[in-house]
Amino acid sequence: MNCYICTKSTETFVHEKTDITYYHCKACEYIFKSSEYHQDLTVQKERYNLHENDAEDEGYQAYFQRFLDFILPLVGKPKTALDFGCGRSSLLATLLEKEVTKCDYYDPIYHPDTLNDTKKYDLIVSTEVFEHLHQPREVFESLLERLEEGGYLALQTQFHPNDVEAFKKWYYHQDPTHIVFFTAQTFRVLCEIYGCEFVGDNGKNMVVMKK
Ligand SMILES: [Zn+2]
């Protein structure tokens, strides 16, 4: 199996507890579950509906605030912004609006008709989205197309430990809707492929790139 991000060959491993097969690219550090474990949107929605992401919840606000505290010093002064894959709530867009600028939001399940295909943005944020994507490279490319020249893409997804035994013990892949996994290196490689600038990452789960 070749890597869907950088096309180099991958190594295969099986998680003994779940029997799920994973493919691990040593070049870009992308890991993905075998495609039979990918789920369609209806199944995903059933699981997301279990999440209690109440916009009034202080913990949830603090969670987004940590993301903004990391990315905002890196992204200049955006005049237009989009939250891609916001989920049910538009809380992150609301927080961005308070601190910086009006923010559009889109979600394929909860807010599917909010995207304007001709509109371009100075900043696109996407938190806890990329680990759900069947085709992250294609989505990455489509988000770049929605960015202005010099615009920023800021993502949040947990970086995996890049070690097979540590990966097996890691909690993040146990969510059946999480099917693909990244490190900062994966995003560095994506930046090389698409001619973007890798601006920075927090070593854990956040990354900022510039078109
Ligand atoms: Zn790769």
Q: Rounded to whole angstroms, how far apart are CA atoms 83 and 105?
A: 5
What are the residues whose beta carbon lies below 5 Å from ligand 1 (ion)?
Answer: 3, 5-6, 25, 27-28, 30
Q: Rounded to whole angstroms, how far apart are CA atoms 150 and 171?
A: 36
**Centroid of ligand 1 to alpha carbon of 172 (angstroms):** 20
Q: Is the pLDDT of residue 51 over 80?
A: no
Model confidence pLDDT, tens digit, residues 4-13: 999 999 999 9
pLDDT > 70: percent of the chain: 96
Model confidence pLDDT, tens digit, residues 92-122: 999 999 999 999 999 998 899 989 989 999 9
pTM: 0.93
Handedness of CA 109, 115, 117, 121 (dihedral sign): negative
